Amino acid sequence: MGIEGRDIFLISPELALAGLGALIVVADLVIRRKGLVLAIALVGLLVPLAAQINLWAEIHDGGTEMAFSGSLVVDEFALYVKFLILAVLALVVLAGSDYVERFKPYQAEFLGLVYFSAVGLMLLPAAGNLITLYVSLELASLPIIALAAFSKTEVRSTEAGMKYLILSAISSAVLLYGFAFLYAATGTVQLVPAAVGDPTIGTILSTGADSSAFGGAAVLVGAVLVAAGLGFKLSMVPFQMWTPDVYEGAPTPVAAFLAVASKAAALAVVLRIFYSALEPVSDDWSIMFAGLAVATMTVGNVVAIAQSNIKRLLGYSSIAQAGYMLIGVAAVASRSKEAADGQLGIESVLFYLGGYAAMNLAAFFAVIVITSRTGSDEIADLAGLGRRAPLLAGVLAFALLSLTGIPPTVGFMGKLFLFNAAINADLLWLAVAGVLNSVVSAYYYMGIVRTMYLRDPEDTSRIGAGIPVQAALGISALGIIVLGLWPGGLLEVARAAAVSLVP
C-alpha cells in the first residue's frame, strides 16, 4: 500500500463516521420511515468500529504510525480514546432514539450533527501538531453549538447555544494565543516527530530551556494559555461558568454527549500536549494542575449542594469529576521513579475515563426518560420514583453511588487508582483533598436517592422506558458493575495506551 493509501487507511474510522453522517442526512430525503434512518445510524456504526479494531490489531503489533506527514499520529493512546468516543456515541444515539422524535422533521439533521462532531472529537487525540489539533477542535465544537440550540422553541436551549458559542470562541482565541507563544519559543508546532529525528516542541525544550519556571517566559505564558483554553472544554475551574447553563438548556442527549465524549477528547489533548510536548518542564505544570484539581473538585461539589435542577446538578457533578481526573494529570512526578510507575498517572486517568463514561451516561439516560415523561427537571419531582419506575430509579441510584465512589462500583476503583497515582507522585495532600471531596459529593448524590425512595410522589402513575433506552441503561449499568468488580481488563488496555503516549 502506498503512502497516500496508507494515510487513508489510518484515518478510516473518521472517514467512515463522516460518510455515515452524510448518509443519514441523504437517506432522510428518500426514506419515509424515520425509524429506518435511525436503524441505519446505529447499524452503520459497525463500519467505523470495524476500522478501529483493524487499526488496533495493526498498531498493537507494529507500534506508532504517522499520517499526512506527521499531522496525525495513530497509536494505542489515540485509539483508546477513539473507542471510548464511538461507544459513547452509539449509546447516546440509542438512548435518545425516542427523545429526538420531538425534533420532527429534523431528526436526521440532529443525528448528522452529532456524528460530525464525533469525527472532530476522534481526530483530537490523534493530532500530531498544534494546527491539526485546532482544526479538529473547531470541527468538534461547531456542531455542538448548533445541537445545544436545537430545541428552537425553548428559550433555554437558544440561550445555551449562544453561551456556548461565545465562550467557545473566546476559549479558542486563548488557545491560539497559547499555541503562538509555544511556537515562538520553540520554532515548531509539532507535538510528535513526523519522522525519526525531527524536532518537536518537547525535544527543543529539553535541550534549550533555561532554569526559570517552565523554561522561559514564552513557554510559561503559552502553557498557561493552553491550559486555560482546554480548561473550557474540560469544565475546569475557573473556566466552568458555561457548564450548568448549557447542560440545563441543551437537549439532554446533547448534554450527555458533551459531558462524556467532549470531556474525554479534551483530557486526551491535555495529556498529549503536556506529557509529550511539555514533559521537559513537567515539575512546574504538575503543581499547576494539582492546584486546579483541588479548585475544580471543591467548586463543583460545593455548588452542586445548592442545586434543585437535576441537569444543573449533573453539570456541577461533571465539573467535580473533571477535578478528580486532573489528579491523575498532576501525578507526573511519579515518572521520576521506577519505570513500572512511569505511566501510573496516565493509566489511572484513562481508566477513570472509561468508568466515568459508564456511570455518567447511566445517570443521564435515566434523566432523559424521567424528564421526558414528567416534563420537569426538578429534583423534587423525582419523589417516589422508586415506586413509579423501579428500573429507572435503580439505575440512577446505582450511577450516583458510583459517582460518589462507593464499592463495588467502577467509581470506587477509578478513584482508588487516581489517589494511588497521586500518593506515588508524593502528592498525598492531593489524594486527601480528593477523598474529602468525595465525602462532600455523597451529600447531594444521596439526597437524590433519598428523594426517589423516601418521599411520597404527587403523581403515582407509572413511568416506562422504551426498549432502546432500556438497552442503553442496561449496558451502562453493566459497565459500572463489571468494571468495578473486574477492572483488570480495562486497566491493561489503559496501561498499553499510556505506554504509547510517553516519549
What is the 8-class DSSP label of residue 197? T
Cell numbers representing residue 234 in the block = 474540560
Q: How far apart are CA 68 and CA 373, in angstroms?
A: 49
The pTM of this model reads 0.91
Q: How far apart are CA 323 and CA 312, in angstroms?
A: 17
Cell numbers representing residue 129 in the block = 501538531
Residue 399: inside a domain, yes or no?
Answer: yes
CA dihedral (273, 83, 44, 33) in degrees, to 10, reads: -90
Number of compact structural domains in the chain: 1
Q: How far apart are CA 354 and CA 359, in angstroms?
A: 9
Position 146, amino acid:
A
Helix (H) or strand (E) holding 500: helix 488-501
Residue 102: inside a domain, yes or no?
Answer: no
Domain that holds residue 336: 280-503
Give the pLDDT of residue 212.
46
Pairing assessment for the beta strands 72-74 and 65-67 based on DSSP bridges: antiparallel
Cell numbers representing residue 484 in the block = 468495578
Q: How far apart are CA 153 and CA 249, in angstroms?
A: 11
How many other C-beta atoms are found inside a 10 Å radius of the C-beta of residue 47?
A: 16
Give the pLDDT of residue 441.
92
Give the pLDDT of residue 1.
43
Position 276, amino acid:
S
Residue 228: inside a domain, yes or no?
Answer: no
The reply to whether omega before 13 is within 30° of 0 (cis) is no
Q: How far apart are CA 402 and CA 412, in angstroms?
A: 7
pLDDT in tens, the chain (503 residues): 445 778 888 899 999 999 999 999 888 888 777 678 888 888 999 999 999 998 888 887 657 888 888 888 888 899 999 999 999 999 999 888 878 777 777 888 888 999 999 999 999 999 888 999 999 999 998 999 888 888 766 777 888 888 888 888 898 999 999 999 888 888 888 888 777 667 888 788 877 654 444 557 788 888 889 989 998 888 898 888 888 888 888 888 888 898 898 889 999 998 888 887 777 666 677 788 889 999 999 999 999 998 888 989 999 999 999 999 999 888 865 454 444 445 778 888 999 999 999 999 999 999 888 888 887 888 888 888 888 888 888 999 999 999 998 988 999 999 999 999 888 888 899 999 999 999 999 999 999 999 988 888 777 778 777 788 889 899 999 999 999 999 988 999 888 888 887 75
In which residue are the cell numbers 448524590 written? 445
Q: How far apart are CA 44 and CA 63, in angstroms?
A: 28
Cell numbers representing residue 79 in the block = 485509539
Q: How far apart are CA 200 and CA 205, in angstroms?
A: 9
Residue 253: inside a domain, yes or no?
Answer: no
324 within 8 A of 352, measured Cβ to Cβ: yes
Q: How far apart are CA 169 and CA 184, in angstroms?
A: 23
Residue 460: inside a domain, yes or no?
Answer: yes
Q: How far apart are CA 229 and CA 365, in angstroms?
A: 29
Q: How far apart are CA 480 and CA 483, in angstroms?
A: 6
Secondary structure of 398-417 in HEC code, one letter for each residue:
HHHHHHHCCCCCHHHHHHHH
Q: How far apart are the first and last CA of the chain?
A: 28
Residue 426: inside a domain, yes or no?
Answer: yes
What is the 8-class DSSP label of residue 340? G
Residue 436: inside a domain, yes or no?
Answer: yes
Residue 484: inside a domain, yes or no?
Answer: yes
Q: How far apart are CA 359 and CA 130, in angstroms?
A: 32
384 within 8 A of 452, measured Cβ to Cβ: yes
127 three-state secondary structure: strand
